[in-house]
């Protein structure tokens, strides 16, 4: 089958769109307003964009009242946000933090979470989360959309400090992803977690390509030569 997303003529009981790009990592974004109110919300339209230096993005549609979301307004006004990794153990708190509440509400308190002070930015980190990135706001790209919620703000930030809990670094020095169980979005109201891992390496001798895949910044800086 095929369908035109402008017409939504898929003929199915529920839109299949969000099931077609899966799984999507959840960027659990914390910000603080200029008045000092702490804000937290999950975004599955989230991704890392590059690694040297690292940049991440989250894409926030307008809220159900056709207004820009607090995460966007705060990130733009203060120039800072934090990415927290959402995990299976934190799923209920993550879900509570998605409620559309007044800007005056502290969403760490709403979700029952602990604030950990950041080092280089003002927004707090979710203490219970095993991985957090302190980010400086870089740019918003606004895409026009349909209806009240369709317009979307893509917020890009540069990662300036990375926190990883010692508990999730395995004896081999790698992040123990199976222990972390990162949470990810599927379509509908469905979620998944990472429960299995397999390794695959690009064939050939291109060391810079392989290091880039691994996320080694030496490759991007041209320090790894292929000859
Ligand atoms: C798992 C999950 C993923 C979500 N992903 C997005 C998203 O990518 N973009 C978006 O605009 N809203 C998303 N939402 C809804 C927002 O979290 C929700 O609108 C929240 O109230 C925004 O809060 P804020 O106004 O404090 O920024 C998601 C909700 C959940 C539960």
Model confidence, pTM: 0.96
pLDDT digits (tens, 9 = 90+) for 86-133: 999 999 999 999 999 999 999 999 999 999 999 999 999 999 999 999
Length of the chain: 227
Owner of token pair 């502290």: 106
Atom 18 of ligand 1 has which residue's CA nearest to it?
98
Pairing of strands 152-164, 131-143: antiparallel
Radius of gyration of the chain from Cα atoms? 19
Alpha helices in the chain (DSSP H): 70-78, 91-96, 107-111, 177-180, 207-214, 217-220
Phi-psi region of 181 (alpha: psi -120 to 50; beta: other; left: phi over 0): left
How many Cα atoms occupy the beta-carbon half-sphere of 30 within 13 Å?
Answer: 32
pLDDT digits (tens, 9 = 90+) for 126-172: 999 999 999 999 999 999 999 999 999 999 999 999 999 999 999 99
Report how far ligand 1's centroid is from the alpha carbon of 183 (Å). Answer: 14
Query: Which residues line the pocket of ligand 1, CB cutoff 6 A?
Result: 26, 39, 41-45, 59-61, 63, 69-71, 95, 98, 100, 185
**Is residue 115 within 8 Å of residue 125, measured between CB atoms?**
yes
How many Cα atoms occupy the beta-carbon half-sphere of 110 within 13 Å?
Answer: 19
CA distances from 218 to 45, 111, 120, 189 (A): 29, 40, 25, 40
Report how far ligand 1's centroid is from the alpha carbon of 222 (Å). Answer: 38
Pocket test for ligand 1, best of 98, 110, 155, 182 (most atoms within 8 A of CB): 98
């Amino acid at each position: 089958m095929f369908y035109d997303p402008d017409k939504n003529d898929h003929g199915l009981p529920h839109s299949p769109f969000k099931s077609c790009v899966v799984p999507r990592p959840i960027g659990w974004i914390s910000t603080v307003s200029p008045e000092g109110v702490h804000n937290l919300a999950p975004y599955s339209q989230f991704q890392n964009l590059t690694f040297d230096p690292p940049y991440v993005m989250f894409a926030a549609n307008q809220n159900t009242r056709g207004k820009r979301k607090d995460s966007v307004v705060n990130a733009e006004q203060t120039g800072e946000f934090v990415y927290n990794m959402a995990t299976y153990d934190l799923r209920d708190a993550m879900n509570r933090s998605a409620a559309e509440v007044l800007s005056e509400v502290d969403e760490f308190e709403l979700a029952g979470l602990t604030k950990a002070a950041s080092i280089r930015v003002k927004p707090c980190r979710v203490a219970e989360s095993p991985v957090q990135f302190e980010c400086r706001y870089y740019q918003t790209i606004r895409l026009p959309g349909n209806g009240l919620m369709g317009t979307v703000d893509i917020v890009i930030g540069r990662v300036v400090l990375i926190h990883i809990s010692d508990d999730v670094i395995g004896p081999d020095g790698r992040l123990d992803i199976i222990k972390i169980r990162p949470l990810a979005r599927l379509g509908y109201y469905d979620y998944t977690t990472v429960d299995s891992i397999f390794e695959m390496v690009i064939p050939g001798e291109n060391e810079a390509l392989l290091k880039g895949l691994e996320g080694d910044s030496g490759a991007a800086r041209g320090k790894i030569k292929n000859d």
